[in-house]
Chains A and B, each alone.
Chain A
Amino acid sequence: MLEVGRLSVSYGKHRAVEDVSLCVAKNEIVVILGANGGGKTSLLRAIAGLQPALGGASVRLSGRALAGAPAHHIVEAGLALVPEGRGIFGELTVHENLMLGAYARRARGAEAANRRRVLDLFPRLAERIKQQARTMSGGEQQMVAIGRALMSAPDFLLLDEPSLGLSPLLCSALFAALARIRDAGIGILLVEQNARRSLAIADRGYLMENARIVGEGSADSLRHDPAVQRAYLGVGGGRDH
């Protein structure tokens, strides 16, 4: 279980994340929906240890307290982030990116098995294994980013807008891959603009607006919530309230 409690982030006087609490279980995809600039990226970065959270926040991974720990400890504890913009090592090859994914000590033992799983999930990467990552298409780079995160043998995977810039076809492949990752026992926390597709594979969801969580529910109930439909699913239009 990944539990986040009372997490706030601020940049100077601007409060980007305000008192957010949420949880993700293993075998579960949880999506955070919300408008751009709503604090979703800051929230994920703070959970992953890239961005300091304000005092009083708690991040617990299977009961282990991680708030304030440096990013590399958090990866060792079993949480991997696929950041906005992918964050792959563009100058390095696909092989090197995956090898570095298994840099964490927790990942070394099962490296070969994890590599097989990643290449099985994204056969395209096997074909391009010696290619420099920055010369690949956006969809392939996203596969490298997710593959690299999976190489660290995470219990929980955080993804920030993974479908950004992908064609509809690649999007479908991506979300199918996420469902397979979940079925392998990994908990997924997903930030997405594409509410329709992400609710289709998610188990639960949170709504985030102006730095706060303003609603939550099962994916099913969110899909049928008129307010969610208006705001995120483009149903009914925004003019007639």
Chain B
Amino acid sequence: MLIEAALSGLILGGMYALVAMGLSLQYGVARIMNLSYGELLVAASFSAWALFTGAAVNPLAGLLAVVPAAFAASWLVYRLLLAPLVRRARTRDALEVDTILATFGLAFVVQGVMLGFFGGAYYSYGYLAVPVKILGATVAVNRLIALGVAVAIGLALYFGLTRTRAGTAVRAVAVDPESARLVAIDVRATAGFAFALGGALVAAGGVLVSMFLTFNANLGVLFTMKALIVVIMGGVGNLLGALIAGLLLGLTETFVATWVDPGLTLAATYSLFLLVLLARPQGLFGGSGR
């Protein structure tokens, strides 16, 4: 029972961490607080469902189509909708207000389109829903695959950002955009790239989640909120913090659902969030300042 819950918690937490890393990139590097973030996740889930049920493409192969498409779509959103706001914003606070309003509106548009296509019903599909025994606990293979892929993507992101020049340039823009310009980094292009990369990550999360969770067109807000909570708990712009906070949240939710009451998971989420905010307002791993 304990191992089973811990394993489920880790899997759920891994999804949260992956999704939060993308939001962290969008907010930390591109300085966009993207409230339509969860909508892209749900859109990716529906795409994976459509590919699986309509064209018999398994979701892992589906990743190869959905993730690049999400990257391209996010890049376009940045160039067409958000770049004009960035250009006209005088201060970072003004930009924050503008982008929150714009992406809030975008969330409704995307949600409306999905409701039009799929209605409000819950969707799911069965891919490798085969039980296996690990350490005496029973888990479905698709969940293990989802966790494995999330870990692989997270590691690739971490090493890409810390071990390559392009990744270091992305971090430089997060740390100090003006100095980044002084070393010939095109800050606007880098911000667009980071925003698109964040979109690719959340789409990967959406495809993986669709393998074992039911979803509907209204679920986006929930994922946006959870990603936001994880990012803030981990410390804004801190990928390692997002990872730990994501796992912590997944474990808490699963333990509460297993031993207390499944109806209290959201309450547990927000209690944990409040606790962290009270004790460490800068996040678990945030530095001083903002």
Question: Which A residues lie at the B interface, using CB under 8 A?
Answer: 48-50, 70-72, 75-76, 80-81, 83, 87-92, 96, 99-101, 103-105, 107, 148-149, 152
Contact = CB atoms under 8 A, between A and B. Distances in A.
B176 A103 contact: no
Contacts of B176: 87, 89-90
B185 to A, nearest CB: 6
Given A87-B176, A89-B176, A90-B175, A48 B168 contact: no
Interface of B: 165, 168-169, 171-172, 175-176, 178-187
A50 B185 contact: no
Contacts of B169: 100, 103
B175 A75 contact: no
A87 B169 CA distance: 15
B290 to A, nearest CB: 13
Given A99-B165, A100-B165, A100-B169, A72 B175 contact: no
15 contacts: A48-B182, A50-B178, A71-B182, A72-B186, A76-B184, A81-B182, A87-B178, A100-B169, A100-B172, A103-B165, A103-B184, A104-B183, A104-B184, A107-B184, A149-B182
A96 B183 contact: no
A92 B169 CA distance: 11
A70 B179 contact: no
Given A72-B181, A89-B179, 5 more contacts: A70-B181, A80-B182, A83-B179, A87-B182, A90-B176
B183 A101 contact: yes
Contact of B181 (A71, A105, A148): A71
Contacts of B168: 92, 96, 99-100
Contacts of A107: 184
A89 B168 CA distance: 11
A90 to B, nearest CB: 7
Closest 7 CB pairs of A and B: A104-B184, A75-B184, A71-B181, A87-B179, A72-B184, A91-B175, A100-B183
B25 to A, nearest CB: 16
Nearest to B287: A91
Contacts of B181: 49-50, 70-72, 75
Contacts of B183: 75, 100-101, 103-104, 148, 152
A74 to B, nearest CB: 8
Contact of B184 (A96, A99, A152): A152
Contacts of B182: 48, 50, 71, 75, 80-81, 83, 87, 149
Contacts of A71: 181-182
B175 A92 contact: yes
Contacts of A75: 181-184
Which of A50, A91, A101 has the most chain B CB atoms inside 10 A of its CB?
Answer: A91
Nearest to A71: B181
A96 B287 CA distance: 19
A50 B181 CA distance: 8
A88 to B, nearest CB: 7
A92 B163 CA distance: 12
Given A50-B178, A87-B178, A99-B165, A92 B171 contact: yes
Contacts of B185: 72, 100, 103
A152 B185 CA distance: 11
A126 to B, nearest CB: 19
Contacts of A83: 178-179, 182
Contacts of B180: 100
Contacts of B165: 99-100, 103
Contacts of B184: 72, 75-76, 103-105, 107, 152
A118 to B, nearest CB: 14
Contacts of A101: 183
Which of B171, B175, B179 has the most chain A CB atoms inside 10 A of its CB?
Answer: B179
A107 B184 CA distance: 10
Contacts of A80: 182
Which of A70, A72, A90 has the most chain B CB atoms inside 10 A of its CB?
Answer: A72
Contacts of A152: 183-184
Contacts of A91: 171, 175
A88 B185 CA distance: 14
A90 B172 CA distance: 9
Nearest to B174: A91
A96 B166 CA distance: 11
Nearest to A80: B182
Contacts of A81: 182
Nearest to A96: B168
A70 B181 CA distance: 8
A75 B187 CA distance: 13
Nearest to B189: A72
Contacts of A105: 184
B16 to A, nearest CB: 25
A150 to B, nearest CB: 11
